[in-house]
Amino acid sequence: MKRVLSEKDIKEAAKKGNKTIKISSNIVVTSAAKDTAKSLGVTIEQLAETKADITETKKEKPKYKGKIAIGSDHGGFQLKEKLKTYIEELGYSVVDIGTTSEEPCDYPDFAFAVAKLVSSGDVEKGIMIDAVGVASAMVANKISGIRAAACQSEFAAKSSREHNDANILTLGGRILGLDLAKNIVNIFLNTEFAGGRHQKRIDKINDIDIRYRKS
């Protein structure tokens, strides 16, 4: 549904001989549109809010889906900052464990912090961003119960969730564009583990984890 009434819309209406434009209450009218309407003698009439408007507004607010821990080193800081709002728009709350600037720092510290939050169950999943994404996956996978996947494509993100029940996504802040990173995050967070024939393989991963875990 159209969300903005623009100057162009007013001109098109006037060209068709329409002197009154009726719009729903949730449509935003730009200042240019108001000025153009006044100069062309077009009246803008905003209708009272309808049940349809209310229903659509409710649909636009995603259901709360849980907490996501996110961290980065200096190489992933910029991407982390851009992804936080997007993750919240998907319906999650974000626990940002740092870093807080592009000052050089050590990725193991932040990858470990994200992994601990996931391992303890304090958050549903984790996202860690360094320059390439591989190094942080290495760190996170040292923590019991963690299955971290370094993903550079939508297919890898989908497969890591459906087949491997990955609980941490690692990204490369210096190799991924923002749009691709958003797509990967969206797929990773919203793809369910398929179970079935894949479950026995996850059980084997867990068995290795238990057998070689240090007491």
Please write the tens of the pLDDT for every residue from 7-28: 888 898 889 898 999 888 778 7
Report d(CA 100, CA 77) in Å as an integer: 7
- State the catalytic residues: 163
Give the tokens for residue 55: 């229903």
What is the band of 123 on the pLDDT scale with cuts at 50, 70, 90? very high
Instruction: Report percent pLDDT > 70 for the chain.
Output: 91
Give the tokens for residue 138: 């290495």
Residue spans per domain, the chain = 4-59, 66-211
- The 10 Å CB-count burial string (b at 16+, else e) for 112-135 is bbbbbbbbeeebbbbbbbbbbbeb
Give CATH superfamily name and number for 66-211.
Sugar-phosphate isomerase, RpiB/LacA/LacB (3.40.1400.10)
User: What confidence tens digit (pLDDT) does each residue in 183-201 have?
Assistant: 999 999 999 999 999 999 9
pLDDT at 1 over 60: no
User: What was the pLDDT predicted at 49?
Assistant: 64
Report d(CA 116, CA 99) in Å as an integer: 16
8 or 76: which carries more pLDDT confidence?
76
If residue 98 lies in a helix (H) or strand (E), which one and from where to where?
Answer: none
Report d(CA 192, CA 47) in Å as an integer: 42
The radius of gyration of the chain from alpha carbons, rounded to an integer in Å, stands at 24
